[in-house]
């Protein structure tokens, strides 16, 4: 199918969506303060989506204020991330332990893994609530109000397709780096995989935003989301294995049986290997979805 030469404009699609993400971000603060289930995650996602769109279509927004906004959104995301990571790991460890035969779960493994993460969540959540009441967060909101106001001139040469093409190129480059490291026999490809995940997330958010006006971008967003989810689970597994190793040392010092920790570590490691093997399939699906975009502008 020949691509259409004219499509929706960045000013009519991306700028209003950044405003929506800003408004959602600020509205979620009350839920985070009240510790509403999943509110930390949702606020973090809003911050990430907003930061990503401001980067993918950066020339549609005032440059200096946008750069500052993105840096501060990264800071806010890191604050929320500490609580979110603990929340995810607590649920992950709980599910992992619950799926094992009861006679293979020995010692205080549940308290050491799940209980520790729940304690960390409560501490990180309390800190996040404090941050939301500080001047720095208020300043970020004021800056985002300005950046997303729609009053900045958008260069007419900016296109929705241009933002998608750039994000797609960055993802393919990151994926090629992983393959190169694998050929070289580099055992530590974790940082390279993490970069692929970030690039997939950037492409996903851009594609989902563009799909509001250009439906052919829907499949591209879905394919990027699938890769992001797979690598997100891989990253959670990396964190989980790290915590298991640290916890084994503590259990051993207390003369506790550490069999179950080894079992859980092996399960997490096996899942990690499968995730890496799936990478080429996901990248191929993204490349196919990108080729099927039916608009140029």
* Each residue's pLDDT tens digit, 142-199: 999 999 999 999 998 899 999 999 999 999 999 999 989 888 876 678 889 999 999 9
Q: CA 19 to CA 41: how far, in whole Å?
A: 19
Q: Report the candidate in 86, 22, 78 with the shortest Cα–Cα distance to residue 50.
A: 22
Q: State the pLDDT at residue 1.
A: 47
Q: How many CB atoms lie within 10 A of CB 202?
A: 24
Q: pLDDT per position in the chain (297 positions), as tens? A: 445 554 578 999 999 999 999 999 999 999 999 999 999 999 999 999 999 999 999 999 999 999 999 999 999 999 999 999 999 999 999 999 999 999 999 999 999 999 999 999 999 999 999 999 999 999 999 999 999 999 999 998 899 999 999 999 999 999 999 989 888 876 678 889 999 999 999 999 999 999 999 999 999 999 999 999 999 999 999 999 999 999 999 999 999 999 999 999 999 998 887 777 889 999 999 999 999 999 876
Map out the domains of the chain with their CATH numbers: 10-291 (1.40.20.10)
| Cβ pair 193, 276 in contact under 8 A | yes
Give 4's strand partners.
295
Q: State the pLDDT at residue 175.
A: 94
């Amino acid at each position: 199918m020949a691509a259409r030469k004219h499509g929706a404009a960045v000013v009519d699609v991306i700028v209003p969506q950044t405003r929506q993400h800003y408004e959602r971000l600020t509205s979620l603060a009350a839920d985070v303060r009240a510790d509403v289930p999943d509110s930390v995650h949702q606020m973090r996602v809003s911050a990430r989506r907003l930061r990503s769109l401001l980067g993918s279509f950066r020339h549609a927004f005032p440059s200096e204020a946008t750069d500052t906004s993105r840096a501060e959104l990264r800071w806010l995301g890191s604050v929320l991330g500490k609580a979110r990571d603990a929340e995810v790991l607590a649920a992950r460890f709980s599910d992992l332990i619950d799926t094992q035969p009861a006679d293979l779960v020995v010692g205080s493994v549940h308290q050491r893994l799940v209980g520790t993460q729940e304690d960390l969540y409560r501490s990180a959540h309390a800190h996040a609530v404090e941050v939301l009441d500080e001047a720095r967060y208020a300043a970020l909101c004021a800056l985002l109000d300005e950046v997303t106001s729609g009053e900045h001139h958008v260069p007419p040469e900016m296109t929705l397709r241009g933002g998608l093409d750039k994000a797609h190129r960055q993802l393919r480059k990151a994926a090629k780096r992983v393959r190169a490291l694998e050929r070289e026999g580099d055992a530590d490809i974790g940082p390279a995989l993490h970069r692929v995940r970030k690039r997939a997330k950037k492409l996903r958010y851009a594609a989902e935003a563009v799909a509001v006006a250009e439906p052919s971008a829907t499949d591209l967003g879905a394919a990027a989301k699938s890769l992001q989810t797979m690598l997100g689970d891989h990253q959670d597994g990396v964190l989980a294995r790290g915590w298991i190793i640290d916890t084994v040392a503590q259990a051993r010092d207390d003369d506790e049986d550490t069999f179950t920790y080894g079992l859980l570590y092996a399960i997490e490691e096996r899942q990690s290997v499968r995730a890496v093997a799936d990478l080429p399939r996901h990248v191929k699906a993204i490349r196919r979805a990108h080729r099927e975009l039916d608009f140029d502008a």
